[in-house]
Amino acid sequence: MRQLLPPRTDPGAPVDLDVAYAVAVPDPGRHHVRVNFVTSVDGAAEVGGRSGALGGVGDREIFQRLRWLCDVILVGSGTARAENYGAVKVPPERQAAREAAGQAPVPPVAVVSGRLTLDPTARLFTSDGPRPIVVTCENAPADRRAALAGVADVVTAGTDTVDTRAAVEALAARGLTRVLCEGGPSLHADLAVAGLIDELCLTISPLVAGPDRTHITAGRQWTDTEQLDLAHVLEQDGTLFLRYRHPHR
Ligand SMILES: NC(=O)c1ccc[n+]([C@@H]2O[C@H](COP(=O)([O-])OP(=O)(O)OC[C@H]3O[C@@H](n4cnc5c(N)ncnc54)[C@H](OP(=O)(O)O)[C@@H]3O)[C@@H](O)[C@H]2O)c1
């Protein structure tokens, strides 16, 4: 992997992903929300309903590294289901480094679902790892909430749908201030509309996926565009790894 931007004095030097993707601990009462997506060059976020065909070796490496750096992984129920989420895997030496830095050895997964369409026997709730978190709303079906409370910590944020700001604040109140959102497009759009996103990490794979694919935002009407600042560009095997920051956060 090489760094294209910002330019380096030694362009061939290996890229230290811990440095390239470092996030400072947020100030008390604050949080940092990073979103990570992979797309084709024509903007597809899925092929055949999953993202796996889009990512290569470098994308998987960065995907994993971002997980090792965060306090919690936030996903919508559609992504948790489509990608068959399980507990996060962190190697022992990284777990030790996380603990030394005051983090839990393994970040939990928090799934956002208003209707609680999650199966309590799904891999996410049965694989070894930290207890998952389900983020839902007051008017979620009581029977499903009760079933999920047996396998996850259930957090309520919002009335008819999940209020994403209240959700991120509830996670921060648990000490989970560095949030890595792995999608999907609907949750991403909700976070963006709420003005919660601090940065977007985007992998662009050298593939054309064709028309009528899901993009990285979905399900929301947009009234304006949002400007981002480009922080870096990395490259490997024709795949670009872009880190964008929100200029005002
Ligand atoms: N390319 C990539 O990097 C990438 C990353 C992630 C996902 N994907 C792809 O995206 C597709 C899934 O898209 P998606 O839009 O369905 O995913 P999603 O955003 O993960 O899930 C949508 C679901 O999340 C819940 N949700 C999200 N925001 C909510 C809110 N504010 N309040 C209440 N519930 C909320 C709802 O669940 P309930 O219906 O349970 O209430 C909603 O139906 C898959 O094909 C997946 O492979 C691609």
Does residue 49 line the site of ligand 1, with CB under 6 A?
A: yes
Q: How far separated are the first and last CA of the chain, in Å rounded?
A: 28
Does residue 205 line the site of ligand 1, with CB under 6 A?
A: no
Question: pLDDT by residue for the chain (249 residues), tens digit each?
Answer: 999 999 998 988 999 999 999 999 999 999 999 999 999 999 999 999 999 899 999 999 999 999 999 999 999 999 999 999 999 999 999 999 999 999 999 999 999 999 999 999 999 999 999 999 999 999 999 999 999 999 999 999 999 999 999 999 999 999 999 999 999 999 999 999 999 999 999 999 999 999 999 999 999 888 888 899 999 999 999 999 999 999 987
Task: With beta carbons less than 8 A apart as the criterion, state whether 179 and 168 touch.
Answer: yes
Q: What is the DSSP letter of 215?
A: -
- Which CATH architecture does the domain made up of 48-176+185-216+230-245 adopt? 3-Layer(aba) Sandwich (3.40)
Q: What is the DSSP letter of 53?
A: G
Does residue 71 line the site of ligand 1, with CB under 6 A?
A: no
Does residue 183 line the site of ligand 1, with CB under 6 A?
A: yes
247 by Cβ neighbours in 10 Å (0-12 / 13-18 / 19+) ranks as exposed
**Ranges assigned E (strand) in the chain:** 2-5, 32-40, 72-76, 109-112, 133-136, 153-156, 178-181, 199-205, 229-236, 239-245
Tell which atom from ligand 1 comes closest to the C-alpha of 50. 47
Domain boundaries, the chain: 48-176+185-216+230-245
Q: Which amino acid is at 4?
A: L
